[in-house]
């Protein structure tokens, strides 16, 4: 998955006709870090990834991450309808 993200970022950079050095400079990262981002390396920080997204104008895509979460919504709805009821009180026996 990370490899796919990195490849998509590389293609986005190339479509914008930006060199790796230009994107690295504008992102405030080294060219080798950008290469790691584009390879999909798991060692790249989220901050570096986000900086590249900003430079490429793709940061809004990042904010959509997890917004459409059908499974999470179903789980949340299931918990909302699962109302717990108290056990009935014990009746005290009269002596």
pLDDT tens for residues 16-69?
Answer: 999 999 999 999 999 999 999 999 999 999 999 999 999 999 988 877 777 777
Contact (Cβ atoms closer than 8 angstroms) between residue 17 and residue 27: no
What would the mean pLDDT of 60-87 be, rounded to a whole number? 74
Where does the pLDDT of residue 80 fall: very low under 50, low under 70, confident under 90, or very high at 90 and above?
Answer: low
- Tell me how far apart the 2 most distant CA atoms of the chain are, in Å: 91
pLDDT at 68: 73
pLDDT at 39: 95
Angle between helices 31-39 and 20-27 (to 10 degrees): 110
- CA-based nearest residue to 19, from 34, 2, 3, 6: 34
CATH superfamily of the domain spanning 2-59:
lambda repressor-like DNA-binding domains (1.10.260.40)
**Residue linked to tokens 């997890």:** 66
Contact (Cβ atoms closer than 8 angstroms) between residue 37 and residue 48: yes
Domain-wise residue ranges, the chain:
2-59
């Amino acid at each position: 998955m990370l490899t796919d993200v990195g490849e998509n970022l590389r293609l986005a950079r190339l479509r914008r006709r930006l060199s790796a050095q230009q994107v690295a400079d504008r992102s405030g990262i080294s060219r080798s870090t950008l290469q790691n981002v584009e390879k999909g390396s798991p060692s790249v920080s989220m901050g570096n990834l986000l900086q590249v997204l900003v430079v490429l104008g793709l940061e809004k895509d990042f904010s959509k991450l997890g917004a459409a979460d059908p499974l999470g919504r179903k789980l949340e709805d299931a918990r909302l309808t699962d109302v717990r009821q108290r056990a009935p009180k014990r009746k005290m026996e009269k002596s």
